[in-house]
Chain A
Amino acid sequence: MKKTIAGTEVDVNEEGYLTDMNQWNESIAAAIAAEEGVGPLTEAHQKVVRYLRDQQAAGAALTIRSLGKSGVVTTKELYDLFPGGPLKKASKIAGIPKPVGCI
């Protein structure tokens, strides 16, 4: 489905995750962050978002573990930056799919 975020029309799934990571820009990230209650994106947030987008573009599986070991952020800091659900919120803000199980 289509949704207009920060003045740009993008394709999203029923939970509001971008279905094409190439439609993403920083204004979209900021708007989703506000919607998710994450607040203004700091440089620390941006680093996580960039890392997630790079990993996704490379086809790597995204895990809390790889993020925690990446040197970008520790798992504890991740919860501070994206309270309530770091994986799902950071992924949504980064314009990449939500981490899921098989059902």
Chain B
Amino acid sequence: MTRHLLILGGGTAGTMMANHLRRRLPRGKWRMTVVDRSDRHLYQPGLLFLPFGTYEESQIVRPTRDFLPRGVEFRQAEVERMLPSDKAVFLKGGERLDYDVLIVATGCRTAPEETEGMLGPKWRVNIHDFYTLDGARALRDRLADFAGGRVVVHVNEMPVKCPVAPLEFTFLADTFFRDRGIRDKVSLTYVTPLSGAFTKPKASKKLGHLLGDKGIELVADFVAEKVDQERDKLVCYDGREVPYDLLVTTPTNMGDEAVRRSGLGDDLDFIPTHKHTLQSLQHPDVFIIGDATNLPASKAGSVAHFESETLADNVLRHIRGEPLKEEFDGHSNCFIESGNGKALLIDFNYDHEPHEGNFPFAFGPLKLLEESRLNHLGKLAFRQVYWHVLLKGRPLPGISRRKKKPADWGN
């Protein structure tokens, strides 16, 4: 009898898993289905650039089906709930999909409704976000005719997807206003609930000067109690206020609402996941990948990419009844835009903070934790790598799933 592998989510993680596993599961024995509410695949790193006009929408949105292999059925549908005790998923409208193995790749979403006063008459008027296509588009239009004033870039609470993106946005905004010749009419402020823009010692030491150099004010340890839309101010629980003319906020991030409807998530609807195997802690036939997990790794496509390699092996082991590999180490790397046509590159995992060195090989050509033009070109070139290599589940040359030891590690 044919067995069924069901993947919920056709984003970065779900698409990679479909490609990995269709190559490795015999077609006669296993059918595969991907379910997603949208049939458009969004290149999410592009959302950072869209507001500044660097990318057009057509460069960052493609049909989801173009990236799924033959032999995988795509269903455009909303998931109502998962019922792991019955090995079933219900779609909106009531249709039931039975599975033998379930991969949950439902990602995360912004939840502006979690902060008092964030949604209101001025949402998308002078309060914007860039983590959604709608939001990035509205912000692009707002920036296009922005003549000057107080621009506040805000992170509401951790964890957020691509945690450095708000800081990158701030750096890119500095360059954007400079290029437009109005930097002297704009004040830029970065507001974070953490203790600083950089919280890890090596990065703080190496990069701490960037904010001052660019004239960006930092407001740290700031947990927003509410957005006061009448007075255009962010208000902290301790009474501090940050006035703005344009607020670019990163709302609270939460898992998909289907996770909550299924009773499978934590406070933020992220699913408890084994941090090295990616198996559900409650249900052995369920695996979780990407932003949907509760892992203490970054919520980022890079993490999903490294997870996908371990998870593909583990799904096969699970099917054969073999012990799972406790392999995933939280590995993540990413380009960080630092403005002025330059970028940084960082590489880290659960245990080791971003450090200096060469990447991806001992001789480079890229430099870690250092600003360079080449890193920026790497970030722009990555869009093509994403569409043509990464989503297909192909390995990236010189970059392994587990983090390589840098030279200065003891053993």
The answer to whether A binds B is yes
Q: Specify which of A69, A76, A103 is in contact with B346 (CB 8 Å cutoff).
A: A103
Q: Are B158 and A102 in contact (CB under 8 A)?
A: no
Is there a chain A Cβ closer than 8 Å to B354's Cβ?
yes
Is there a chain B Cβ closer than 8 Å to A39's Cβ?
no
A selection of 23 A-B contacts at a CB cut-off of 8 Å is: A63-B157, A63-B158, A63-B267, A65-B267, A69-B267, A76-B238, A79-B236, A79-B238, A83-B238, A84-B221, A86-B221, A87-B194, A87-B195, A87-B223, A101-B158, A101-B192, A101-B198, A101-B200, A102-B164, A102-B348, A103-B203, A103-B207, A103-B354
Q: Which residue of A lies closest to B192 (CB)?
A: A101
Knowing A61-B294, A78-B237, A85-B195, the reply to whether A103 touches B157 (Cβ < 8 A) is no
Q: Are A87 and B200 in contact (CB under 8 A)?
A: no
Contact string against B for A residues 80-94, beta-carbon threshold 8 Å, 1 for contact and 0 otherwise: 100111111000000
Knowing A15-B201, A63-B158, the reply to whether A102 touches B195 (Cβ < 8 A) is no
Q: Which residues of B are in contact with A by a Cβ distance under 8 Å?
A: 157-159, 163-164, 192-195, 198-201, 203, 207, 220-221, 223, 225, 236-238, 252, 267-268, 294, 296, 298, 332, 336, 346, 348, 353-354
Knowing A64-B193, A69-B267, A87-B193, the reply to whether A75 touches B199 (Cβ < 8 A) is no
Knowing A61-B159, A103-B164, the reply to whether A75 touches B223 (Cβ < 8 A) is yes
Q: Which residues of B contact A65 (CB under 8 A)?
A: 157, 252, 267-268
Contact string against B for A residues 8-40, beta-carbon threshold 8 Å, 1 for contact and 0 otherwise: 000001110000000000000000000000000
Q: Are B267 and A100 in contact (CB under 8 A)?
A: no
A99 to B199, CA, bound (A): 8
Q: Which residue of A lies closest to B207 (CB)?
A: A103
Q: Which residues of A contact B237 (CB under 8 A)?
A: 75-76, 78-79
A64 to B164, CA, bound (A): 20
Q: Are A102 and B194 in contact (CB under 8 A)?
A: no
Q: Are A100 and B194 in contact (CB under 8 A)?
A: yes
For the complex with contacts A61-B294, A85-B221, 15 further pairs of A-B residues with Cβ separation under 8 Å are A15-B201, A63-B157, A65-B157, A65-B252, A65-B268, A66-B267, A79-B238, A84-B221, A86-B223, A87-B195, A99-B194, A100-B194, A102-B346, A103-B336, A103-B353
